[in-house]
Amino acid sequence: MQEARPWLLIGLVVCIALAYGGYRLRNHLKIQWELERRSAIIVRPKVGDGDTSEFGYIYSMRRDTPVHDDELNLVWFVVVPTTNVHYSCSYEAGFPDFKTGDSVRLIHTKSDEDADEGYIIGLHDNEQGKVTEVWNFDLDTSAVNDD
């Protein structure tokens, strides 16, 4: 009976590892399918009277997903050099492949709310004319920076 215990323990560890690997694979595939679905959406910017259009560039980005999460977390950080205002732009739909250093046009509604609906439009190279719908957040006037 003593000889069977190591094999039982090894079998249990293998089962747990396979279950965890399957969970991670399912989350990864779900994120990829969601990205494909969202990127297939054709985004046409709707510019209203209260909207603002500014030129800037992507100075950083975050594309990560925590182990326990099964949602895409794609965020671009855009700076507008003329005003030195920094924005956090969370991906909603459209073109998902902007990268650090890309010049963009940011269209957003200036309001008293924390986050605004908006668009990022590529200006150069392969990204020229590509449009992404985003939720943008002004990092310079946020309550987070008041601490």
Average pLDDT by consecutive 10-residue portion of the chain (147 residues)? 72 88 82 86 83 92 71 88 92 92 88 74 90 86 52
Torsions phi, psi for 129 (to 5 deg): 80, -5
The kind and range of the H/E element at 121 are strand 115-122
Q: How far apart are CA 142 and CA 131, in angstroms?
A: 26
Is 96 buried (19+), middle (13-18) or exposed (0-12) by CB count in 10 A?
A: middle
pTM of the model: 0.74
Query: What residues are paired with 73 via a beta bridge?
Result: 64
**In the prediction, which pLDDT does 101 show?**
93
Question: Are the CB atoms for 54 and 105 separated by under 8 Å?
Answer: yes
**In the prediction, which pLDDT does 22 show?**
86
DSSP per position, 60-106: EEEEE--TT--S-EEEEEEEETTTTEEEEEEEEEE-----TT-EEEE
Residues 6+ apart with CB under 8 A from 130: 94, 95, 97, 98, 121, 122
**In the prediction, which pLDDT does 113 show?**
62
Domain assignments of the chain as residue spans, ordered by start: 1-147
**In the prediction, which pLDDT does 136 show?**
86
**In the prediction, which pLDDT does 94 show?**
93
